[in-house]
Chains A and B, each alone.
Chain A
Amino acid sequence: MNKLLLLFFIPIAILFYTSCKEKLPLNKDLTKKSYALLNQDSVEVKFPEIISGNITVIGFIFTNCPDICPMTTHNMYLTEKKLREQKIGNVKFVALSFDPERDKPSVLKKFAEFRGIDFNNWILLTGEKIIITDLLRRFDVRAIPADSIYSDDGELSYSIMHTDRISLIDNKGFLKKNYTGSKLNIDELFNDIKNLRGN
């Protein structure tokens, strides 16, 4: 009888495990290294400690990006709105700049304020370039300076080619899934968050 039960439950367990793995295909431990960064208020914070215990949606942006990064940020904003409407809490939203030379904390704060972002739920991060570069590598996010031009006042203006990315991190600090930031399927991310919470 016991053998019959095992024969019945083992395939179901394998099926369940495979299905979860497909929905959340990654399992990368981000807690092995800590990064000292600055939040939008110029307060030094440690990542990933700052998100510890929370499911986290992280987007990679630069504020001089007129097209892709605002779409990524807006998609995160819409995901947060949907979670709030469904009364699902304990989810943090992080926007990490890959342009730390221009994206000082005050710039990030202003960028967020223009988009009605709620700082109770959101953290915008910048920091030293060398640290940011190392952290981006952990997420397999690439950002390369592209076309540059000197404006009339002699200021260098440049664009950045970058990975279009939003990532989902579980409450233990494991990277679980990547999404295309500007073309995010909000329902997919929403369901993945529910799945992580066990809803």
Chain B
Amino acid sequence: MILLLILNFLFNQPKDEIIIKDAWLRPNGKGMTTALYFNIENAGKQADTLFQVDFEFAARVEIHETYEKDGMMGMRKVEHIIIKEGNSFSLKPGAHHIMLIKLKKDINDGKQEEFLLHFKKAGEIKITAEVKKQ
């Protein structure tokens, strides 16, 4: 039991050491695709990894990055994002983003939507994002 507690202390990170700021997403219609952006701050003493995002109103949710090749822009899926201890990571337009594929409802400007982020150490973190047309 004591060993389990020690292992838990060593390998888990308190939720409040991962801080999510400025979460927003673009509006779009049912059946379409949009993107979620936010800033992750890791105030903890160990690196953490974002590996999954849940959104009940999308058929599929994936972590993506935008890239440039031969003068063209493309997107590709990435498995996870590592946020080193004491650092932050921005999911922002033209870079990493959470792709919300095949929306199950209209996402309207000015509203708020809830998401569940999954981190390897901090566990599940619930966030609220503003819908903004930008």
Contact = CB atoms under 8 A, between A and B. Distances in A.
Interface of A: 63-68, 70-71, 74, 77, 107, 110-111, 114-116, 142, 144, 146-147, 151-153, 155, 157, 159-164, 182-183
Given A114-B29, A116-B133, A67 B72 contact: no
B76 A147 contact: yes
Contacts of B12: none
A159 B74 contact: yes
A58 to B, nearest CB: 17
Secondary structure dominating the interface of A: mixed
Given A66-B33, A66-B99, A114 B28 contact: yes
A108 to B, nearest CB: 11
Contacts, number: 89
Contacts of B134: 74
A71 B92 CA distance: 11
Interface string B56-94: 000110001010010111111100000000000000011
A147 B77 contact: yes
By Cβ-Cβ distance, the 5 closest A-B pairs, closest first, are: A66-B35, A161-B74, A110-B29, A114-B27, A161-B72
Secondary structure dominating the interface of B: strand
Nearest to A182: B94
B91 to A, nearest CB: 10
| Chain B contact patch, size range | 20 to 34
Nearest to B30: A110
B73 A66 contact: no
Contacts of A71: 93-94
B100 interface: yes
Nearest to A149: B60
27 contacts: A64-B32, A67-B64, A67-B94, A68-B66, A68-B73, A68-B94, A77-B133, A110-B32, A111-B28, A115-B27, A116-B109, A116-B133, A142-B71, A146-B74, A146-B76, A147-B76, A151-B59, A151-B60, A151-B101, A151-B102, A152-B59, A157-B101, A157-B102, A161-B73, A161-B74, A182-B73, A182-B94
A66 B98 CA distance: 9
A147 B109 contact: no
Contacts of A151: 59-60, 101-102
